[in-house]
Structure 1
Amino acid sequence: MSHTTSQTSQTSQTSQTSRISRLTSADFAETVPALARLFVDTVADGGSLGFVDPFDEETAAAWWRGRAPGVADGGLAVWVSREGDRVTGTVSLARCPWPNGSHRAEILKLMVHPDARGRGLARALLATAEQAAAEAGHTLLMLDTETGTAAERLYLATGWIRHGIVPAYATDPAGTPQDCSFFHKPIGPAAAAR
């Protein structure tokens, strides 16, 4: 299966004057500082995204810059939501790099700024990534999230299938071990066949 990457941003409107757009490689580099701020604010609010307190913008920006090769080669798609010039949310879609996994992709780093929650933005970001995955020919999506969170409730409400919970899988930002729920979702023709 071939994978093509558009060099122009794709933009869609969502509720509450937010707009969601896919970042090109150039857009991504320019957006790293705003993504870093979003990441730090989300972790400070308790988001379990792989980092613990203290977590600063320099560390967050370095993490995001490390994703640049994937964005450039099309292995990673990153969308942001904006209200005006402010980045209020993000989601990423990573295609599987292995030939026997070319049908699947993984949803990563779905984040909405604490001040922008409760307006359907996480749902809109997730739907955007799911649609792009289906359009790219993927038939299976994967993700994981901390058990018992608003994120887990979102995934359950949007048709994701929890296939397991691993106890004490990762720590939250305070360093306390938390359970992790693992999900999958058939999409495209695979979903229609079920």
Structure 2
Amino acid sequence: MSAGAPVTHRVATPQPGAAEALGELWIAVTEAGGAVDFVPGADPGEIRALAAATIDDVRAGAAHMIVAGEQTAPLGTVLLVPGRGLVAHRADVQRLMVRPDHQGTGLGTALLAAAVELGREIGAELLTLGARGGTPLPAFYAARGFAEYGRLPGGVRLAPGDDRDIHLFARPLDRSGR
């Protein structure tokens, strides 16, 4: 990460305004073409509603959130969602987002590394994630220790006639820090 880049930290208790700030980050990333559940031009109200539901999940302990910058002015974020029941040994990495004006600074790599470390802390033995095809994301995750184990053909539809595969990745965790 570049000199002076913000440190990532886990959000234990979301602050007032965190949902609104997450929504604004999410909108900025979406409008820049980021592969985070929406396409440019999506309804901002829908994005803000999902951001509020995400913060509710963090408050309820159903998801863990890591932020770079401040909760009410995030430069980037990532979620880690622990499995339950038969999949309690794993956690899913979701919605890695970096503000468009901070991409290429190593912030995404730092957020992902923090998610891996948090996975170890919460006792996960395996991290999973999905990445939209037709983007640099599959190569990004592969370069950071995640192995592609499959694809879901046509897993997302960006527009009529523009279906993309979802690349499925996993990364086993051990306690030695590898």
TM-score (norm 1): 0.81
Contact 1:94 1:106 in 2 (8 A): yes
- 1:131-170 mapped onto 2 (5 Å cutoff): 131-170=117-156
Match of 2:57 in 1: 70
Aligned partners of 1:39, 1:71: CA distance in 2, in Å?
16
Aligned partners of 2:111, 2:167: CA distance in 1, in Å?
20
Which of residues 149, 159, 167 is equivalent to 1:181?
A: 167
- Residues 167-193 of structure 1 deviation map (CA, whole Å, 9 limit, x = unaligned): 22102379821121000100124997x
How many angstroms does 1:88 deviate by? 1.2
Q: Please give the root-mean-square deviation of Cα atoms over the aligned residues, in Å.
A: 2.6
* Aligned residue type for 1:165: R
Cα 1:22–1:190 shift into 2, 3 Å: closer
**Residue 115 in structure 1 maps to residue 109 in structure 2:** no
Query: Segments of 4+ in structure 1 off by > 3 A?
Result: 13-16, 172-175, 189-192
Match of 1:172 in 2: 158
Contact 1:47 1:172 in 2 (8 A): no
Cα 1:169–1:116 shift into 2, 3 Å: same
Q: Show structure 1 runs of 5+ residues with no match.
A: 1-12
Matched residue count = 178
Aligned partners of 1:20, 1:145: CA distance in 2, in Å?
22
- Residues 64-118 of structure 1 deviation map (CA, whole Å, 9 limit, x = unaligned): 11123421232201111127x7321110000012x22111000000011111011
